[in-house]
Structures are given as C-alpha cells and as structure tokens.
C-alpha cells in the first residue's frame, strides 16, 4: 500500500458556481449605481473648479488691461452689445475661446437646451443669436451677459440640467461669484434640493455653503 495519503480533489458544483455568481451580481447591482453617481459628481466638481478658476483669472487679467471693473462699459440686453463686450473684456484673456453665433454653431440642437432640476424647460436662458456665446478648448460653454456668465461644463452633452452640468455666476468688482448670495442659507437650499424646481442656486450651495464639496443630500 502506498504510504502517501491520497488527497481527494474537490471542485465547485455547477449549482454552487451559479449561486456565487448570483450573489456577486446582486451586490454589483446594488453598489454600481452609487459608484457611478459618485464618480459623476466628482467629475462635475473638478470641471466646475477649473471653469471658476479660469474665469477668475481672466477677470483679473482683464482688469490689468482694461482698468478696474467699475469702469468697464457694460452692455445692454442686446445680443450684439454683449458680444462686443465679451470680445473686449473677456475673450483676449481666455485660452483660445471659440465664438459661436447661434445654438447650431455651439453644437446644441435647440435655442433653449437647458432644463431645471425637475426636468422642466429653462425658458429664461437660451443661446442668443449673435450673442456672447463661446466654447473653450476643454468643451466648456460660456454665455456672457451684463454682470453674469452661464457655464455649461460639457456644452451640448447631457444632462444639460441646472445644478448638474449647468451653473450661473455673477461678477462684480470682487470677481466671479455664485448667484443667489443675497439670499439666506435656507433660501439657497430651497433652490438647490431634491424638492426644488430650478436649481439656479446650486453654484452658491456648492461653493459657499458646502465649501466646494458635494453633500450627501445634494440633488442629483
């Protein structure tokens, strides 16, 4: 008799393999959406920080060239005047900003391409014909107005929703700042939450209330 003990080889049965794969599938189904969502939030936050920094730097350079903001010649509501204003005070200080004269040239399918947080159409901001519309090399869309700038972090790509990839900013002698800063904390939260409609104050929530963080209850 062979003195070496004979070890019995074991293997998983087909049923055991299928059960294991099923468990893995369930765990993945439960965790993957959260992981994807968290990744999307961080990508948005990184892009927003970059756009905010680029605009503030351009603002400071423009003041060196054109004098302090309080002496700038602000445009009226006419699209052509906003375009001329942007060409003088902003474009020379942005890295290769490309002008687009209408929504088609800017890569969008319609003049009013953005939605509120609840999915309804945002009809008070559109891409003006011959207005101050620009695309940066990284794909960021900028729409300048008198004292404000709208940012779409990935231009025509989805979701095109305020608070997710579309953010509104003001600017004054201090520089670029989030809109809604004249409101109190509760008012800002009410306009950037899962129960709100528009999401216009989400830039103020991210920057001023949450200190450049994406809170767990941030609407997404």
pLDDT tier at 3 (50, 70, 90 boundaries)? very low
Q: Give the range among 63-72, 94-103, 119-128, 197-206 with minimum mean pLDDT.
A: 119-128
pLDDT tier at 5 (50, 70, 90 boundaries)? low
Q: Would you say residue 8 has pLDDT above 70?
A: no
Section 10-21 average pLDDT:
72
More confident site: 220 or 34: 220
Determine contact, residues 170/56, Cβ cutoff 8 Å.
no
The pLDDT of residue 101: 95
Determine contact, residues 147/172, Cβ cutoff 8 Å.
yes
The pLDDT of residue 32: 67
pLDDT tier at 2 (50, 70, 90 boundaries)? low
> In the β-sheet with 148-152, what is the strand arrangement from edge to edge?
98-99, 133-135, 141-145, 148-152, 166-172, 175-178
More confident site: 19 or 143: 143
Phi, psi (5° rounding) for residue 188? -65, -45
Q: Would you say residue 57 has pLDDT above 50?
A: yes
Closest CA to 96 of 148, 131, 138: 138
The pLDDT of residue 13: 83
Determine contact, residues 166/51, Cβ cutoff 8 Å.
no
Instruction: Tell me the average pLDDT of the chain.
Output: 89
The pLDDT of residue 182: 94
14-66 vs 79-89: helix crossing angle, rounded to 10: 80
Euclidean distance between CA atoms 43 and 60, whole angstroms: 26
Q: Token digits for 31?
A: 């965790």
Section 130-148 average pLDDT:
94
Euclidean distance between CA atoms 57 and 159, whole angstroms: 27
């Amino acid at each position: 008799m062979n003195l070496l003990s004979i070890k019995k080889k074991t293997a998983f049965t087909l049923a055991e393999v299928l059960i294991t794969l099923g468990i893995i599938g369930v765990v993945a189904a439960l965790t993957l959406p959260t992981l994807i969502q968290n990744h999307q939030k961080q990508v948005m936050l990184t892009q927003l920080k970059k756009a905010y920094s680029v605009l503030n730097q351009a603002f400071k350079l423009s003041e060196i060239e054109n004098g302090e903001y309080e002496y700038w010649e602000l445009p009226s509501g006419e699209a052509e005047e906003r375009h001329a204003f942007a060409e003088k005070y902003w474009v020379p200080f942005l890295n290769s900003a490309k002008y687009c004269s209408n929504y088609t040239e800017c890569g969008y399918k319609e003049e009013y391409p953005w939605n509120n947080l609840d999915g309804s159409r945002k009809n008070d901001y559109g891409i003006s014909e011959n207005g101050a519309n620009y695309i940066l090399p990284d794909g960021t869309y900028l729409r300048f107005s008198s004292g404000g700038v709208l940012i779409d972090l990935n231009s025509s790509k989805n979701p095109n929703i305020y608070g997710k990839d579309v953010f509104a900013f003001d600017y004054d002698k201090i520089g670029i700042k989030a809109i809604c800063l004249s409101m109190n904390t509760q008012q800002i939260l009410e306009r950037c939450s899962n129960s709100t409609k528009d999401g216009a104050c989400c830039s103020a929530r991210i920057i001023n209330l949450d200190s450049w963080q994406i809170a767990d209850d941030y609407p997404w």
